[in-house]
């Protein structure tokens, strides 16, 4: 095995060589060490931080001294260290688009191949596990063909909610009338019930519902939604403590009080480092790493301290003369060099960028293999594609209206916030007044756009703030007619975690109505969370029509605003990769079922449009070209492209370059 140690400082270089030789002796692996000390030669190899280590020509580490375990993994060709002595429960979480589903699925597959009985669980309403594994996802464990010992389960919100409603209705007295049952079913039709039903299944898996499995691997929704899920055992336990009446917002006879023991058991499992590991997944990207750091701190406040870090998709340019490839390498290394201390202290693995899409068992098995071939064979071609209009053309089209709602939607990590901010600034530049807001719990707007622009209002729907506003409003409206005991009971009910969903929906409805007189650009949460919000919109629409539809006059609900193509323009953002495109297509299908038609698709971060001849990137461009043809072949009514940029589009000056 040929190893190059790149370091100009003598002492550091000697320490690195000594470590390599020590581990090589212990493992019985023959190595040939070459020391590279010339700074120009190091730069020519594309390395910006030393000490750095190349094994058989591939960069495996840079910017610091590796650990003994990391070197042992290199020499033995082991899979990542998080697969060594894993706890029973493994949670993969992180910013949308960092590869949680790929890594969690590859992990479950590796454990099953090692003889374990493994259950892979998706808590993401927008999961693409079905596409990766080639099977239909169900809300019961389903064996994976070709992977003995491995089963997959999808906590589907709609299925879970319907099952929950049936259980509640079954507990009603036999004397209950048809009207009473219909009333209860309607009470249980909102997003609050959907969340509780999903949460109920989740806690069952943590407490007593998966005893037949050696390992349970959770593929979670993007960070904001996952943090809420992991905090719910604590939130519901606190709400139920001393509440003998249960939660009235879940309907009569819900029996939620009986679940208190299960919620406590779930919290005990999550906080036990011997049972649960949280694997924070990030890319070598500043925003993904920053979100991983925030998530790490928030999880610690919940008592989840057994954490690890995986940097996924690490790229190293093979040709330093390729401008695009070199810029990607430089930006990634800068992000890694600036990693917050709280992450540096965590056990860490790095998974290199692969040329292949992680679809199918063979690709998933190769993802975590050290010696997986980085380049696919064959002539992939790098000729330019048919030019597509840019974001400036989309801004021109949107500006033709006098006002309206622009909702930017898509899978987590595709760049919705960037596109929403750029379009808002583009409309300002074209003489419009714009309110830019977000429904995303992760709230990246503040770090993307500078709010000090005439005609631009920037804010967010803050769940905690909106919940308190909603509680204050309800108490002010209803408490005057109640005695002190009844007021205390009302306030107790309003402190239920369900209230947050209702409050966020009311704030969303208010913003939707603002588009009657100005432009509102809404940066939505990742797909699954947004669909729950759409469910709440639909439930409110049905309830409003039932209660007020027959009274005459003009009635307009938020859903009707979204269905009005002259009022609302839905912009679907995707990356030119199979998973984001498939999820955007699924989202479009769900929107159409609700009578909402997307206006346009935006392909973000197109390397093909930027141009490169790096072999690894060129191999990936074959897949990018295929996805562009797929979108242009009927998925998108209008298609716009944003090329990958060497300078990240953060701040107003860079954002404006996208729409000029």
Residue 181 main-chain phi, psi, to 5 deg: -65, -40
pLDDT in tens, 65-119: 887 767 877 776 666 788 888 999 998 988 777 888 899 999 999 999 989 999 9
**Rounded to whole angstroms, what are the CA distances from 603 to 489, 558, 643, 658?**
51, 28, 8, 13
For residue 51, say if its preceding peptide bond is cis, omega within 30 degrees of 0. yes
Strands 142-143 vs 150-154: parallel, antiparallel or unpaired: antiparallel
How confident is the model at residue 246, as a pLDDT? Answer: 44
Return the HEC string of 503-547. Answer: HHHHHHHHHHHHCCCCEEEEECCCHHHHHHHHHHHHHHHHHHHHH
Bridge-partner residues for 121, per DSSP?
Answer: 153, 218
In whole angstroms, give the CA distance from residue 124 to residue 128: 9
Architecture of domain 89-147+216-237+255-368 in CATH? 3-Layer(aba) Sandwich (3.40)
* CA–CA separation, 152 and 135 (whole Å): 9
Determine which of 209-218, 252-261, 361-370 has the lowest per-residue pLDDT on average: 252-261
Sheet with 150-154: strands ordered across: 142-143, 150-154, 118-122, 215-219, 89-94, 276-283, 307-314, 348-352
Compare 547 and 96 and report the one with higher pLDDT.
Answer: 96
Confidence (pLDDT) at 645: 85
Provide CATH 3.40.30.10 ranges for the chain: 2-76
198-207, 370-379, 619-628: range with highest mean pLDDT:
619-628
The rounded distance, in Å, linking the Cα atoms of 640 and 604 is 9
Q: 590 or 257: whose pLDDT is higher?
A: 590
pTM over 0.75: no
Rounded-to-10 torsion of CA 413, 417, 420, 421:
-140
Question: How far is the C-alpha of 402 from the C-alpha of 163, rounded, in Å?
Answer: 45
Residues noted as catalytic: 97, 99-102, 124, 579
Burial track 311-322 (b if 16+ CB lie within 10 A, e otherwise)? bbbbbbbbeeeb
CA pair distance 355, 368, nearest whole angstrom: 13
Q: Does domain 2-76 have CATH number 3.40.30.10?
A: yes
CA angle at residue 315 from 313 to 316, to 5 degrees?
A: 160
Q: Does domain 394-460+518-546+556-657 have CATH number 3.40.710.10?
A: no
Q: What is the pLDDT of residues 36-75, one digit of tens each?
A: 999 888 888 878 788 888 887 777 787 778 877 678 777 7
How much is the mean pLDDT over the chain? 79
Proportion of the chain above pLDDT 90, given as a percent: 25
Query: What is the mean predicted confidence (pLDDT) over 388-404?
Result: 95
148-198 tens-digit pLDDT: 999 998 877 667 777 777 776 776 666 777 776 776 666 565 555 665 666
Burial 358-388 (b: 16+ CB within 10 A, else e): bbebebbbbbbebeeebbbeeebeeeebeeb
Listed in order, the ranges of the chain carrying CATH 3.40.50.300 are 89-147+216-237+255-368, 394-460+518-546+556-657
Q: What is the pLDDT of residue 373?
A: 45
């Amino acid at each position: 095995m040929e190893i190059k140690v790149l370091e100009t400082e003598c002492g550091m270089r000697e320490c690195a060589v000594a470590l390599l030789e020590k581990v090589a002796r212990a493992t019985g692996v023959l190595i040939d060490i070459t020391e590279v000390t010339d700074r120009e030669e190091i730069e020519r190899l594309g390395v910006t931080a030393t000490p750095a280590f190349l094994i058989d020509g591939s960069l495996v580490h840079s910017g610091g001294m590796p650990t003994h375990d990391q070197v042992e993994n290199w020499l033995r060709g082991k899979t990542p260290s998080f697969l060594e002595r894993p706890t029973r429960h493994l949670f993969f979480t992180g910013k949308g688009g960092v590869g949680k589903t790929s890594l969690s699925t590859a992990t479950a597959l590796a454990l099953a191949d090692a003889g374990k009985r493994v259950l892979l669980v998706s808590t993401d309403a927008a999961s693409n596990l079905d596409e990766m594994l080639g099977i239909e996802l169900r809300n019961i464990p389903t064996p994976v063909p070709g992977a003995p010992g491995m089963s997959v389960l999808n906590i589907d919100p709609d299925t879970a909610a319907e099952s929950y409603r049936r259980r509640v209705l079954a507990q009603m007295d036999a004397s209950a009338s048809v009207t009473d049952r219909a009333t209860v079913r309607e009470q249980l039709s909102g997003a609050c019930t959907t969340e509780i039903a999903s949460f109920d299944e989740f806690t069952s898996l943590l407490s007593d519902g998966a005893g037949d499995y050696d390992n349970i691997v959770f593929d979670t929704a993007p960070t904001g939604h996952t943090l809420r899920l992991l905090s719910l055992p604590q939130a519901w336990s606190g709400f139920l403590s001393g509440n003998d009446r249960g939660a009235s917002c879940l309907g009569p006879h819900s029996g939620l009080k009986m679940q208190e023991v299960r919620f406590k058991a779930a919290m005990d499992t999550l906080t036990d480092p011997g049972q649960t590991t949280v694997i924070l997944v990030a890319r070598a990207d500043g925003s993904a790493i920053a979100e991983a750091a925030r998530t790490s701190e928030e999880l610690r406040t919940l008592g989840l301290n057994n954490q690890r870090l995986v940097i996924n998709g690490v790229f190293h340019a093979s040709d330093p003369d390729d401008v695009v490839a070199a810029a990607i390498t430089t930006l990634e290394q800068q992000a890694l060099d600036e990693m917050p201390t709280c992450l540096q202290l965590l056990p860490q693995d790095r998974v290199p960028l692969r040329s292949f899409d992680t679809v199918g068992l063979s690709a998933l098995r190769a993802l975590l293999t050290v010696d997986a071939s980085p380049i696919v064979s064959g002539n992939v071609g790098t000729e330019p594609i048919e030019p597509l209009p840019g974001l400036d053309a989309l801004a021109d089209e949107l500006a033709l209206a006098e006002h309206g709602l622009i909702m930017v939607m898509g899978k987590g990590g595709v760049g919705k916030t960037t596109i929403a901010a750029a379009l808002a600034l583009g409309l300002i530049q074209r003489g419009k007044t714009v309110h830019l807001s977000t429904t995303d719990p992760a709230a990246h707007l503040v770090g993307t756009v500078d709010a000090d622009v005439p005609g631009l209002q920037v804010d967010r729907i803050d769940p905690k703030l909106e919940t308190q506003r909603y509680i204050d409003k309800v108490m002010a409206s209803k408490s005057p007619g109640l005695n002190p005991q009844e007021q205390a009971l009302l306030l107790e009910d309003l402190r239920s975690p369900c209230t947050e969903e209702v409050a966020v929906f009311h704030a969303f409805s208010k913003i939707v109505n603002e588009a009657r007189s100005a432009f509102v650009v809404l940066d939505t949460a990742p797909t699954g969370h947004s669909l729950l919000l759409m469910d709440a919109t639909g439930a409110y629409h049905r309830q409003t029509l039932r209660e007020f539809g027959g009274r005459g006059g003009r009635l307009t609900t938020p859903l009707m605003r979204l269905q009005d193509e002259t009022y609302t323009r839905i912009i679907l953002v995707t990356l030119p990769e199979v998973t984001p495109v498939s999820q955007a297509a699924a989202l479009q299908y769900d929107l159409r079922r609700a009578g909402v038609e997307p206006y346009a698709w935006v392909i973000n971060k197109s390397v093909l449009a930027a141009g490169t001849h790096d072999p690894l990137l060129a191999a990936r461009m074959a897949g990018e070209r295929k996805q562009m043809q797929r979108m242009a072949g009927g998925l998108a009514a209008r298609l716009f492209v944003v090329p990958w940029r060497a300078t990240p589009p953060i701040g107003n000056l860079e954002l404006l370059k996208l729409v000029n």
